[in-house]
Amino acid sequence: MKIPLALSVLSFFSSLVMSADLTASLTEIERESTGRIGVAVIDTKDNKLWNYHGHDFFPMMSTFKTLACAHMLYQVDRGQIKTAKSIPVTKDDLVNWNPVTEHFVGSTMTLQSLCNAAMTMSDNAAANLVLKAIGGPESLTAFLQRNGDKATRLDDIEPQLNYVDIGSKRNSTTPLTMMKTIEKLTLGSVLSEQSKRQLLLWMKANMVSDGLLRAVVPKDWQVADRSGGGVNGSRTYTGMIWRKNRDPIFIGIFVARTKYKTVPELNKLVRTISVAVLEEFL
């Protein structure tokens, strides 16, 4: 009995040392960025939960799209709405980023195709139309609260939701809360098995996050994710990674009000943080 106990104690202290090293690395990265960094990691292999400023509030930006499409699927599961429902797309619906919807002005798109556009291409007009169909930002916030998420809130639509004043909790979440919610939506019982598969397919098919964690994760790992940001020196990333015979790891990275003003600079910051996290957890 003494040997397993000794091994357990050794493992515990090794974990503490690794966590301290990661905290030190992120502290230095944060200092250099002159902004704020929040990270949350959930390793479902052993239910290890780790965070750096994980209880602080950060703007969600486009990571809300995962939540909005999950809410749409939740309503589908309950027969309240259909993915095949046709939604008119007008010129007035277009905002600052409409790579898919701009081709459907004067026509219609289904809720299925709107979520596909929002999730894989981060189409803002598509996300707004999905929000409208599911009852708006207030309905999404209420859905999250009913399912145990008391921190995340959406108050506006695209693109206004990206501009969050310092200290405000509008359109914000905490890294820990967001990743617990995404774990619940993808692995838990909130959605049906079919809806969970659909949500995961959208996340895997994301085409606008290649310069983030996807760029540094080992090739034998699969990635399902959603990113956001690029304004006010801010960037957000929520991802799930796994491989054969290995349970998923959920990773949330939030940076805000940094000195970096361009998307390439912010992407590099997120990649740097990703490398530090992966070195400990893989």
Nearest to 152 by CA among 129, 182, 125, 121: 182
CATH architecture of 22-281: 3-Layer(aba) Sandwich (3.40)
C-alpha 118/C-alpha 62 separation (Å) is: 9
Rounded-to-integer distance, Cα 268 and Cα 212, Å: 7
Contact (CB, 8 A) for 41 and 250: yes
**In this predicted model, what pLDDT tens digit does every residue of 76-133 receive, in sequence order?**
999 999 999 999 999 999 999 999 999 999 999 999 999 999 999 999 999 999 999 9
| Mean pLDDT in residue range 164-191 | 98
CA 102 from chain center: how many Å?
A: 25
* pLDDT score of 18: 59
- 66-90 pLDDT, tens per residue? 999 999 999 999 999 999 999 999 9
Model confidence band, residue 9 (pLDDT cutoffs 50, 70, 90)? very low
Element (H or E) spanning 77, and its range?
helix 64-77
Q: Which string of DSSP letters, residue by residue, matches 144-172?
A: HHHTT--S------TTGGG---TT--TTE
Residue 11 has pLDDT above 70, yes or no: no
Q: Which of 8, 11, 25, 62 is catalytic?
A: 62
């799930």: which residue's tokens? 240
* Residue 19 a catalytic site member: no
Q: What is d(CA 63, CA 44) in angstroms, rounded to the nearest whole number?
A: 21
Tokens encoding 256 = 């805000």
